[in-house]
Amino acid sequence: MSSAYENVVEVRNLCKYFPIKAGLFGRVVGHVHAVENVSFSIKRGTTMGLVGESGCGKTTIGKTLLNLTPKTSGEVIFNGDTHLDMLKGKSLRDFRPKIQIIFQDPYSSLSPRLPVGEIIGEAVREHNLVPESEFDAYISRIMKACGLFDYQKDRYPHEFSGGQRQRICIARAIALNPDFIVCDEPVSALDVSIQAQIINLLEDLQKQFNLTYLFISHDLSVVQHISDTVGVMYLGNMVEYADKAEIFANPLHPYTQALFSAIPVPDPTVKMNRIILEGSIPSPANPPSGCKFHTRCRKCQAVCSQKAPRTMDMGNGHTVACHIYDPESGYENA
Amino acid sequence: MSKKSNETSYISARESRRISRENQKVIRKLDKRLSRKRVPESEYVTQMHDKNNVVEFDNLHTYFFTDVGTVKAVDGVTFNVPVGKTVGIVGESGCGKSVTSLSLMQLVQRPTGQIVEGEIRLNLGDKAFDVAKMPIEAMQKVRGNVVSMIFQEPMTSLNPVFRIGYQLDEVISLHTPEMSPEAVKARSIEAIKMVGIADAEGIYNRYPHELSGGMRQRIVIAMALACNPRLIIADEPTTALDVTIQAQILELLRNLKNEINASIMLITHDLGVIAEMADYVVVMYAGRVVEKGLANEVFLDPRHPYTIGLMQSKPVINKMVDRLYSIPGSVPNPVNMPDYCYFRDRCEQCVERCQGLYPPEIRVTDTHIVSCWKYYKEGGAE
């Protein structure tokens, strides 16, 4: 069946523009280029980390993948042949359980009026995944796998702490037996010690159910811990993409270098060679010309503001979008 | 339902009313003291134990009197902030790190939140005040002037309906009423320039929503610096910001501290930020200080099992582990804390003594202090 395909999800030239409306009649006066020409693929059973500053389009990618917001152009292909936006009616309904999402804030993503067992089981019942007679046992098993207790089934979300709520969110996603889960900042609202519990849980579940994750986070150390491949986003573009070991050992794009050097290390003896970026991220409604990063880049040359860089393959699946590595760009390497 | 369901303590309406009545009594008494007018200074003047400290927290207790019981948010906290140094306070949410700093500003949510016991000695150079005893009237002259605060969320700490300039001017003219409006404006613009904003005059006339998050945080810092405070409390100053902006703000704070020779009390849950900024580290857990010492001592030789667990549970860049350590269990219910070590139920290194009372402070070195029975030796410290 579907598991024959190596890539669970393949994204080609994905674009997502949000219209900016103005005036009485809501005339479209421009577009926010939230995601532009992003391509990547995720292998079965692996985790891809997506990092970048706020407003760079990480979350939009996650939502567009699942068709929660329709894409503007490009292709998203699941299991080699499923185009989500072409599915309708029953076939779309049948495919939905395969792809799930875990949101950032466990306080706002759980209905306060439903008991936990119902929250986890609602979609299971809706999709008739297990017969009614086995329903209770199934929910108990899922809850146990996520570190929740059986007796908590009848409780309401407000009785749980942040970490436990995130476990409920994870259980809700896992219960549908998905192939692919988008984790949209699942640990950033949690405390450090709880963060570790949730990260470990996600890793355990991945092994147990052979899950594939898209892990969106702004915390680079978490991404480095959990991911197999890492994509770095800046203002809607993916500026660099590589294996985890490769990208952390050898970051090529000036933005990636600055981003990695900005992470504080919990060791007072380490002296940081910090690259401090000037200014803040420009508005995606009116992005800079040429390379979008040139306004903050310390290696900027004339060519950078004139034309957009091509994505160059540097070997081993390491791609980077920067003029420095493009011999035909006209960038003068000193 | 299993036995575990007893954990959430259920309180009957009658019980809740009784607690509420008792709270009223305590709160009224404490509130009355604070809201008195024209209190002679002699009532809250005190002596610093060490002239080189800006603030000395001495056995501070700040409680919240809620209808389900008394929450001991800060339960006997003792530490010092030396002049010109940065003290980092680290701990999980709900451990009392923010309440400690709010107690110093007397900004704890009254009437439920009250400083019940202990002293906060604030060094004013020629004299010292005990903030815990200061009436509200006198406190207004200290806030923003001697001690100022930078909050986590820059958007909520700026007023959206006033221009940046107006908000800065307000701080300065309140604390130095003799200054002319022109001089106040010049001082405001100087403060904006100090935090590394090039177009100071332009920003002066802007509204907060026109600025980015990093810029807003710079304005909040400018506001905190406007009156040359002796101590700046930075409560999670970079948590709401991106890493690249965080790097800018931390750099700025470090430079400014040296420029105006102030001390910083840095509150954060990010160990990385603490390691980078702090000279001294205070680790808090459930309202108590579990470990304190020089940054090098605490980071390189952590002693308390909680500190060790906290450090191991955070993934560190370029330091790979197969599996993160996670501290078992979660923070105990803050109502009705036990009398034994608060960390006992989550601790994997318990010794026999842990069954007994809360551990005393044990000196590892002259500056490194830890509250854990593991390091207790009969007849003296380790």
The pLDDT tens digits of the residues spanning A282-304 come to 888 888 888 999 988 888 888 88
Q: Residue ranges of chain B with pLDDT lower than 50?
A: 1-7, 381-382
pLDDT at residue B214, rounded to an integer: 84
Q: In terms of CA atoms, which chain A residue is nearest residue B213?
A: A280
Distance CA A46, CA A8 (A): 9
| Residue A257 three-state SS | helix
pLDDT level of residue A2 (50, 70, 90 thresholds): very low
| Residue B202 three-state SS | helix
* pLDDT greater than 80 at residue A53: yes
pLDDT at residue A334, rounded to an integer: 67
| Residue A48 three-state SS | strand
Provide the shortest C-alpha distance from residue B382 to chain A (in Å): 25
Distance CA B27, CA B33 (A): 10
Q: In terms of CA atoms, which chain A residue is nearest residue B10?
A: A159
The candidate with the shortest Cα–Cα distance to A232, out of A264, A262, A250, A256, is A256
Interface of A with B (CB under 8 A): 53-54, 149-151, 159, 161, 163, 191-197, 199-200, 203, 218, 220-222, 224-225, 248, 258-270, 272, 274, 276-277, 280-281
CA distances from B14 to A64, B67, B336 (A): 53, 11, 18
Smallest Cβ–Cβ distance between A197 and the set B270, B300, B326 belongs to B326
pLDDT at residue A242, rounded to an integer: 94
Q: What percent of chain A has pLDDT over 70?
A: 98
pLDDT at residue B9, rounded to an integer: 60
Q: What percent of chain B has pLDDT over 90?
A: 33
All residues at 6 or more sequence positions from B180 whose CB lies less than 8 Å from its CB, including other chains: none
User: Taking CB atoms and an 8 Å limit, are B251 and A203 in contact across chains?
Assistant: no
Contacts of residue A163 in chain B, CB cutoff 8 Å?
330
pLDDT at residue B8, rounded to an integer: 52
For residue A183, what are its two tokens? 């984790």
What value does the mean pLDDT of chain A take?
88
What ipTM was predicted for this assembly?
A: 0.80
Which pLDDT tens digit goes with each residue over A54-81? 888 888 999 999 988 889 999 999 988 8
Determine contact, residues A45/A206, Cβ cutoff 8 Å: yes
Strand order in the sheet with A99-102: A99-102, A180-184, A212-216, A47-51, A229-234, A237-243, A319-321, A311-313
Distance CA A187, CA A197 (A): 10
pLDDT at residue B4, rounded to an integer: 42
Contacts of residue B310 in chain A, CB cutoff 8 Å?
192-193
CA distances from A140 to A120, A136, A200, B54, B135 (A): 10, 6, 20, 56, 56
pLDDT at residue A26, rounded to an integer: 83
Contacts of residue A191 in chain B, CB cutoff 8 Å?
92-93, 269
Smallest Cβ–Cβ distance between A264 and the set B1, B212, B273 belongs to B273
Provide the shortest C-alpha distance from residue A209 to chain B (in Å): 18
User: What is the DSSP annotation of B171-201?
Assistant: HHHHH-TTS-HHHHHHHHHHHHHHTT-S-HH
**Full-prediction pTM beyond 0.95?**
no
Contacts of residue B247 in chain A, CB cutoff 8 Å?
261-262, 274, 276-277
User: Taking CB atoms and an 8 Å limit, are B246 and A277 in contact across chains?
Assistant: no
Sign of the CA dihedral with A325 first, then A328, A332, and A334 last = positive
Q: What is the phi/psi pair of residue B164, to 5°?
A: -55, -45
Mean predicted confidence (pLDDT) in A105-121:
90
Which pLDDT tens digit goes with each residue over A211-257? 999 999 988 889 999 999 999 999 989 999 999 999 999 999 999 99
For residue B69, what are its two tokens? 């019981």
- Count of CB pairs separated by less than 8 Å, A with B: 133
Task: Establish how many alpha carbons lie within 13 A of residue A250's alpha carbon, considering only the half-sphere containing its beta carbon.
Answer: 10
Contacts of residue B280 in chain A, CB cutoff 8 Å?
none
* pLDDT greater than 80 at residue A280: no
For residue B317, what are its two tokens? 């860049």
Q: In terms of CA atoms, which chain A residue is nearest residue B214?
A: A280
Determine contact, residues B292/B99, Cβ cutoff 8 Å: no
User: Taking CB atoms and an 8 Å limit, are A53 and B244 in contact across chains?
Assistant: yes
Residue A100 or residue A329, greater confidence:
A100
Contacts of residue B325 in chain A, CB cutoff 8 Å?
196
pLDDT at residue B5, rounded to an integer: 40
Determine contact, residues B57/B97, Cβ cutoff 8 Å: no
Distance CA B342, CA B364 (A): 21
Helix (H) or strand (E) holding A145: helix A135-145
Helix (H) or strand (E) holding B265: strand B263-268
Beta strands in B298-381 (DSSP E): 362-363, 369-370
Determine contact, residues B375/B303, Cβ cutoff 8 Å: yes
Q: In terms of CA atoms, which chain B residue is nearest residue A259?
A: B244
**Assign residue B106 a region: left if phi > 0, alpha if psi is -120 to 50, beta otherwise?**
left
Determine contact, residues A47/A226, Cβ cutoff 8 Å: yes
Task: Establish how many alpha carbons lie within 13 A of residue B137's alpha carbon, considering only the half-sphere containing its beta carbon.
Answer: 10
Distance CA B88, CA B82 (A): 12
CA distances from A123 to A96, A119, A139, A171, A178 (A): 10, 8, 11, 11, 12
Which pLDDT tens digit goes with each residue over B18-29? 888 988 988 888
Enumerate the H helices of chain B as residue ranges. Answer: 13-34, 97-105, 136-142, 154-157, 164-175, 181-194, 200-204, 213-225, 243-260, 271-277, 295-300, 305-313
Cβ-count burial A28-44 (b if 16+ within 10 Å, e if not): eeeebbbbbbbbbebeb
Smallest Cβ–Cβ distance between B317 and the set A163, A197, A220 belongs to A220
pLDDT at residue B378, rounded to an integer: 62
pLDDT at residue B112, rounded to an integer: 87
Determine contact, residues B187/B165, Cβ cutoff 8 Å: no
Provide the shortest C-alpha distance from residue B322 to chain A (in Å): 8
Distance CA B39, CA B138 (A): 8
Q: What crossing angle do the helices spanning A162-174 and A135-145 adopt, rounded to 10°?
A: 130
